[in-house]
């Protein structure tokens, strides 16, 4: 999501009775219009980060924020419907990334490691299958 002076990911606060998955899917839909049915999910990737920030919700006091991100793949092109941000931008996967230091950069570094590990795992499985 593109804000006036920075980029961010669709995210928000859990509502009463929600788990992390349902919160993530609700926030994604509310902020982009992307429905869960448009996605395939990677059930093994889960990224968590913590940082301190001012919270308008709590009178601009400094709070500890925990962000949990899941990995999903779009099944097909979708029409993004921006609702809570200025606009959006799709960025090319071209590590290393320097987009936003609190959440996006650490997330993309973790994804890069995850993809490399997955590629190595697939390679090892395929080599064993050839033997």
| Annotated domain spans of the chain | 20-130
Q: Given the structure tokens 């890069």, which residue do they identify?
A: 112
Domain 20-130, CATH number (from 3.30.160.20, 3.40.1640.10, 3.90.79.10, 3.40.50.1370): 3.90.79.10
Nearest to 69 by CA among 38, 15, 97, 109: 109
When pLDDT is cut at 50, 70 and 90, the band that residue 121 belongs to is low
Output the pLDDT for position 131.
Answer: 46
pTM > 0.75: yes or no: yes
Which of helix, strand or coil describes residue 61?
A: strand
For 4-57, the pLDDT digits (tens) are: 788 888 988 899 999 999 999 999 999 999 999 999 999 999 999 998 988 888
Nearest to 104 by CA among 4, 3, 9, 5: 9
Nearest to 84 by CA among 3, 13, 5, 21: 3
């Amino acid at each position: 999501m593109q804000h006036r002076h920075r980029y961010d990911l669709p995210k928000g606060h859990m509502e009463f009775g929600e788990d992390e998955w349902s919160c993530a899917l609700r926030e994604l839909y509310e902020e982009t219009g992307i429905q869960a049915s448009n996605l395939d999910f990677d059930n093994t990737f889960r990224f968590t980060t913590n940082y301190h920030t001012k919270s308008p919700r709590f009178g601009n006091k400094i709070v500890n924020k925990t962000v949990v991100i899941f990995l999903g793949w779009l099944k097909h092109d979708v029409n993004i419907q921006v609702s809570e941000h200025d606009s959006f931008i799709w960025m090319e996967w071209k590590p290393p990334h320097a987009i936003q230091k609190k959440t996006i950069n650490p997330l993309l570094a973790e994804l890069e490691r995850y993809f490399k590990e997955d590629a190595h795992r697939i390679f090892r499985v395929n080599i064993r299958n050839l033997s």
